[in-house]
Structure 1
Amino acid sequence: MLESMTPVDPLGEALHFLRMSGTFYCRSELTAPWTVALPAMENCLMLHVVTSGECRLEVGESAPLLLRTGDLALVPHGEGHRMGCGAGALPVQLFDLPRELVKDRYEILRYGGGGAATTMICGAVRFDDAAAQRLLEALPRVIRVDAWESPEKEWLQSTLRLIVSEAQELRAGGETIITRLADILVVQAIRSWIASDPAAQTGWLGALRDRQIGRAIALIHRDPARHWTVELLARQVGMSRSAFAARFTQRVGEPAMQYVARWKMHAAEAWLKDEATPLSELASRVGYESEAAFSRAFKRFAGVSPGSVRRSSFREIRIKPALQ
């Protein structure tokens, strides 16, 4: 029997999980010529908002991307990249430049050759939630949003103007306003790409848009403790077992039960890093009747014990695709 078919927005739910942690922002005041090399930051998303002037963004061997006032760009996978304006400036490593620490999450960088000015808000953001990580994996190397051409241009422009105002004056609480607004811009940039890029219509993101497969994914995400089976998931979304199994594999790229098992472990990994919950309780959250059974399953996926992840929470221990 089908459970309540309350309207479900799996894509919206995935965006909801984009709750940021380890966020750090920098106001950059730069004058041409300048070139700054940003190091790779594993499992971080990097944000650049040009509040005045212009600059080029280079990621890997890709062609430089010109960013002008009102543009925002994301580098979702934490790749090292370069930013600059003007010719002749040798690249300088970001962490070799002096910076003024204003607050724990906010600093100011001033650098350049004294020519044309560019100001930016730049940031590094981490997402620990399993759904957020899966969403980020689906994103391209760079996302650019033009605030002057976007369908949401009015509020984007208003948001950018407020960021500019706060960055210039830095009144009491200004860094808090800037970081909160920048958080919103990160989510909006991702929404904009999903709405406009054909690549977002395929793979896991495309599966979220499928009325029945997307609902099944949402059910798995909401209740990792449940003992899901192909038959149960198919019944919940009104499909036959065989049709559901085939369509899930085709849309998601892996069988339903493999996805369920992997999801439980991703959720457990996020909780291990973020909470001090006893392992016995955490095991119950992902549907295991004992801590020992959970620990064995987790080690098969991650290659390390749950306790090791908890003790090493400041390092990223990526779950290995052991079921592939």
Structure 2
Amino acid sequence: MRDPLSDILLAMRVSGATPVRFESRGGYAMRFPAFRHLKFGALLSGSMELRPSNGPALHLQAGDCYLLTDGAPYASRTGDHPEIDGEAYFATHRDPDGVVRFGEGAPDKIVIGGRFTFEETGAEWMRLALPPAIRIPAGSPVAAPLRTTLSLLGQEVGANAAGEDLIVARLADILLVQALRAYLAMTGDETPSWLAGLADPRLGRALRAFHAEIAGDWSVGRLAAEAGMSRSSFADIFRRRTGLTPMDYVARWRLFRIRAEVMQTDRPIAVIAEDNGWRSRTSCSRAFRELFGVSPREAKAGAAVFLAAERHQA
């Protein structure tokens, strides 16, 4: 049994890059190029500014976290200084302990950041659901779990202790989920997205029930009953919050689950489809192509290309 957010992230095949610790003293300005697919970071001490290409600047204080979701170039700065190439600097100034340092003396700013990679279709869906840049203030009540994870990350990254890579990778996964939780808790009703339904208490009940039994016989009426709402009211609110009809959501996430399993296992497509609530292989394959633009067999072949590219970038 999976909760909706876990189910969604697993279906999108999230992989995490090892976070980097950046310690600096004094002012700087760095420009970073486009990236794949989602960057996260947290300011452990000091203050700084992030300037995404799309959207307003993020003014960060100690304890703040951020997500950059559109893959566009961005700048990091602590004042009005000439910009340098941040990617080149990080590539050439990493010390033996894995920490990147700027300036002389004890640091007055410490940042931990990293990158998560999604399967390409999953990355596009995340971009549709999230704004280009998100700041989660340290003082927000929903940031309390993040502070615990950040404290642990701050102790592990750059410590060169046994098992550091594994612990840091797991903590980074936790940080991403906690950041998305916090974002969902902070958002209002003004921006419909498939992710927004998770933040609505009534819709969330229905979505948890669906994700826990994805192969079940789901209908708008059954989802509405799980939410404790009338069929018409549920359908209307669901569409306004998510931008999808309830059954569009059901069909799409079944197909995402099918796609993930097709790409990761050798199980027959008919078995995978039935396990995810699709009774007809033919109709499943037709819907699969309509949503993803390729057949299940072509998706499986493309997975090998994706994994090879990830190994090359690692």
Q: Same fold (TM over 0.5)?
A: yes
Letter in 1 for 2:136: V
1:108 partner SS: coil
Letter in 1 for 2:92: P
**Could you tell me which residue of structure 1 aligns to residue 23 of structure 2?**
29
2:283 partner SS: helix
**Could you tell me which residue of structure 1 aligns to residue 100 of structure 2?**
110
The answer to whether 1:145 aligns with 2:136 is: yes
**Could you tell me which residue of structure 1 aligns to residue 160 of structure 2?**
170
Offset from partner CA, 1:262-316 (integer Å, 9 cap, x none): 2222222222333333222212223334434322221122111111211112549
From 49, 64, 69, the equivalent of 2:57 is 64
In structure 2, C-alpha distance between the alignment counterparts of 1:93 and 1:270, rounded to whole Å? 34
The answer to whether 1:78 aligns with 2:71 is: yes
The answer to whether 1:126 aligns with 2:117 is: yes
2:287 partner SS: helix
Compute the TM-score of the two structures, normalised by the length of structure 1. Answer: 0.73
**Could you tell me which residue of structure 2 aligns to residue 3 of structure 1?**
none
| 1:204 and 1:252 in contact (8 A); partners too | yes
In structure 1, C-alpha distance between the alignment counterparts of 2:264 and 2:4, rounded to whole Å? 20
In structure 2, C-alpha distance between the alignment counterparts of 1:83 and 1:144, rounded to whole Å? 14
| 2:220 and 2:247 in contact (8 A); partners too | yes
| 2:192 and 2:243 in contact (8 A); partners too | no
Pair 1:277–1:300, CA change in 2 (3 A):
same
**Higher mean Cα deviation, 296-305 or 74-83?**
74-83
Compute the TM-score of the two structures, normalised by the length of structure 2. Answer: 0.75
Letter in 2 for 1:71: D
In structure 2, C-alpha distance between the alignment counterparts of 1:214 and 1:156, rounded to whole Å? 22
2:299 partner SS: helix
Offset from partner CA, 1:91-123 (integer Å, 9 cap, x none): 315157326598xxxx93535454865332111
Offset from partner CA, 1:180-233 (integer Å, 9 cap, x none): 333333333333333234358965455445555433333333333334333444
Question: Pairwise CA RMSD of aligned residues?
Answer: 3.9
The answer to whether 1:41 aligns with 2:35 is: yes
Q: When you count helix as a share of all residues, which structure comes out higher?
A: 2
Identity of counterpart residues, as a percentage? 30
Pair 1:228–1:61, CA change in 2 (3 A):
closer
Cα deviation for residue 74 of structure 1 reads: 1.6
2:55 partner SS: coil
Pair 1:241–1:21, CA change in 2 (3 A):
closer
Q: When you count strand as a share of all residues, which structure comes out higher?
A: 1
Offset from partner CA, 1:150-169 (integer Å, 9 cap, x none): 43777655544443333353
Matched ranges for 1:93-242 at <5 A = 93-94=86-87, 97-98=91-92, 108=98, 110=100, 112=102, 114=104, 118-126=109-117, 137-147=128-138, 149-151=139-141, 156-157=146-147, 159-167=149-157, 169-199=159-189, 204=194, 207-210=197-200, 212-234=202-224, 241-242=231-232
| 1:34 and 1:111 in contact (8 A); partners too | no
Instruction: Return 5+ residue gaps in structure 1 as ranges.
Output: 1-9, 317-324
Matched ranges for 1:235-314 at <5 A = 241-313=231-303, 314=305
| 2:143 and 2:182 in contact (8 A); partners too | no
| 1:29 and 1:109 in contact (8 A); partners too | yes
Cα deviation for residue 59 of structure 1 reads: 0.8
